[in-house]
Amino acid sequence: MSQVTEVVKIRRKVFAELARMAFAGTLEKDIATILNTVVTEEGPRYRCCVHKERAVLHNRINLALSQPMTVSIAEAASAALQGKRVTMPVVNVLPEACDQCPIDKFLVTDACRNCIAHNCMAACPKKAIHVVLNRAYIDKNKCVECGLCKKSCEYGAIIEISRPCERACDLGAIKAGADRRAVIDYEKCVQCGACKTTCPFGAVGDKSFIVQLIQTLKAGKRVYAILAPAFIGQFGFKVKPGQVVEALKKMGFHDVYEASFGADLVTMTEAKELAETLAENPKSFLTTSCCPAFAGMVQKHMPEIANRVSTTVSPMVATGKIIRDKDPEAVTVFIGPCVAKKAEAEETKGIIDYVFTFEELAAMMVGAGINLAEVENTDYHSTASRDGNGFACAGGVTCSVIDTAAIISPEVKIIAQCGEGLAECQKILKQIQSGQISANFFEGMACVGGCVGGPSVMADRRVTGKLVAHFAAESFAEESVQNKPVSELLAKGGHWHRIPS
């Protein structure tokens, strides 16, 4: 379940304070007060002293303003107010916040009884274990971290420690650097955000654009929100979709779109692409492309099958294109549970201007003084089909493509497989490649549960998953192909595929 820990609370308080000041126009003058309001002299204290707390907070503020860690918060605030965004990765380690967790993998604990059998010493192939001060001791210079000592101890007195960030990353992209601080290898990282949610010190974060967006709204530009289908229930289980739409308009958004509308278009395009792929070679297979972390994983870690990833754009990009075609001066903001979408938006330049997480949006509402629970509910109906809304949950894309393919290309026999989590996706893809599993369509989701289980959700996916299903069930149509406005858009021509870089 999503737990709002103290680490999460501090991050959200920073967002809300920045938003409040940006809306009030006092950010440049008052930014330094955050160092005294979010962290107070009285505590609570999580680090050695108040100065360390503030140093960590400084990192947090700069990242929230999308500015380098090295500049002062005043400079960062002023740059953000001018709309500047520094070129930097989406996911970053906060150097002050990283607690430099131990790197010793095996540790003998107090449970060691210095027994007579000494199974650990017998098991160690490197003779790295000695008895020192009445207890087994592992000589780090000899230890090769094989783990046989841990297995051999009848008391379970030897434990295996792994750094939470390293364990969370399925791609081995985060490691301890020379000073034991975490370092991200961006050649391997796909910005999925797993390390961010896992680190108990809150030492990994993603850059935000709250201040930049508020400035854009204040400048009176036409800003369009694109809500990810997973938005249902994120702002409180009782908050209705109509209230969210109303609140966005109250905050200054010109119009609100659902990415699920784009998902209907994606379904149609992808179903066609799948039919064409299989007509060309019945033994081939196609994977989904809507999850940017999954698509990135294939590109970086399984390049040999990169051509099997569907070239269809993601629902976010499709919806962005639809808005831009109608209003070339539109400023587009995708709002979702995802960190990797921030990177995807940068890669597909000129379609999506900002990507916000649900958490960042809620903090922005708090900063604007908008309380969703008290916003008037308007009668709101989804612009997408049931299947389009289903994209929010794992298995949803598959379901949608199968339903639509059954209508538009009934001759195609789809054998689908789904993967949740990058490690599982990699495993299944390898099995499909080697023929161990027969499948011609693979849905890859970097997060367990799909988007409702994303790194920046604000509610338990077991509940929101059901709420999404209820909302989807009320849609005007079941299959994507029944969404008439989408069919009309497709009939106009143009293409909805990624342009190879």
Partner 1 sequence: MQKLVLEICVGTSCHLLGSQDLIQMVERFPAEVKNKIELQGATCLGACGKGPNVRINGTILNNMTPEQLQQIICDTI
- List 89, 236, 252, 395, residue binding partner 1 (CB under 8 A): 236
CB of 49 closer than 8 Å to CB of 55: no
The C-alpha atoms of residue 397 and residue 404 are separated, in whole angstroms, by 11
359 binds partner 1, rule: CB under 8 A: yes
Residue spans of alpha helices (H) in 409-460 = 422-434
365 binds partner 1, rule: CB under 8 A: yes
230 binds partner 1, rule: CB under 8 A: no
CB of 208 closer than 8 Å to CB of 66: yes
238 binds partner 1, rule: CB under 8 A: yes
Residue 323: CB minimum distance to partner 1, A: 26
Which stretch, 90-98, 109-117, 180-188, 234-242, contacts partner 1 (CB under 8 A)? 234-242
SS3 141: coil
Q: Is 1 exposed, middle or buried (0-12, 13-18, 19+ CB in 10 A)?
A: exposed
**What is the DSSP annotation of 7-25?**
HHHHHHHHHHHHHHHHHHT
374 binds partner 1, rule: CB under 8 A: yes
- List 137, 186, 237, 476, residue binding partner 1 (CB under 8 A): 237
- List 39, 286, 458, 489, residue binding partner 1 (CB under 8 A): 458
- List 30, 99, 255, 460, residue binding partner 1 (CB under 8 A): 460
* Residue closer to partner 1, measured from CB, 332 or 456: 456
Which stretch, 11-19, 157-165, 338-346, 436-444, contacts partner 1 (CB under 8 A)? 11-19
The C-alpha atoms of residue 500 and residue 121 are separated, in whole angstroms, by 57
> What separation in angstroms does the CA of 26 have from each of 13, 21, 252, 484?
17, 5, 19, 47
Q: Which of 47, 50, 46, 180 is nearest to 104 (CA)?
A: 180
* Residue closer to partner 1, measured from CB, 73 or 368: 368
Pairing of strands 416-420, 441-445: parallel
User: Measured between alpha carbons, how far apart are the two ends of the chain, in Å?
Assistant: 38
Which stretch, 6-14, 45-53, 407-415, 445-453, contacts partner 1 (CB under 8 A)? 6-14
Token pair, residue 293, equals 């972390």
- List 345, 459, 472, 486, residue binding partner 1 (CB under 8 A): 459
What character string, x for contact with partner 1 (CB under 8 A) and - otherwise, covers 245-264? --------------------
Alpha carbon 79 to chain centroid distance? 26
Which stretch, 10-18, 117-125, 286-294, 300-308, contacts partner 1 (CB under 8 A)? 10-18
Residue 455: CB minimum distance to partner 1, A: 16
Strands (DSSP E) along 308-445, which ranges?
A: 331-336, 354-357, 416-420, 441-445
- List 372, 397, 401, 405, residue binding partner 1 (CB under 8 A): 372
CB of 336 closer than 8 Å to CB of 345: no
Q: What are 226's strand-pairing partners?
A: 257, 334
366 binds partner 1, rule: CB under 8 A: yes
What character string, x for contact with partner 1 (CB under 8 A) and - otherwise, covers 401-440? ----------------------------------------
Element at 174 (helix H, strand E): strand 174-176
Residue 363: CB minimum distance to partner 1, A: 6
334 binds partner 1, rule: CB under 8 A: no
Token pair, residue 70, equals 């090295």
At CA 95, angle to CA 67 and CA 12, rounded to 5? Answer: 60
42 binds partner 1, rule: CB under 8 A: no
**Size, binding site for partner 1 by CB under 8 A:** 27
* Residue closer to partner 1, measured from CB, 373 or 499: 373
Which stretch, 272-280, 366-374, 411-419, 466-474, contacts partner 1 (CB under 8 A)? 366-374
CB of 191 closer than 8 Å to CB of 297: no
19 binds partner 1, rule: CB under 8 A: no
SS3 117: coil
* Residue closer to partner 1, measured from CB, 90 or 247: 247
Element at 213 (helix H, strand E): helix 210-218
Summarize as ranges the residues that interact with partner 1 (CB under 8 A): 1-4, 8-9, 12-13, 16, 235-239, 359, 362-363, 365-366, 370-374, 458-460
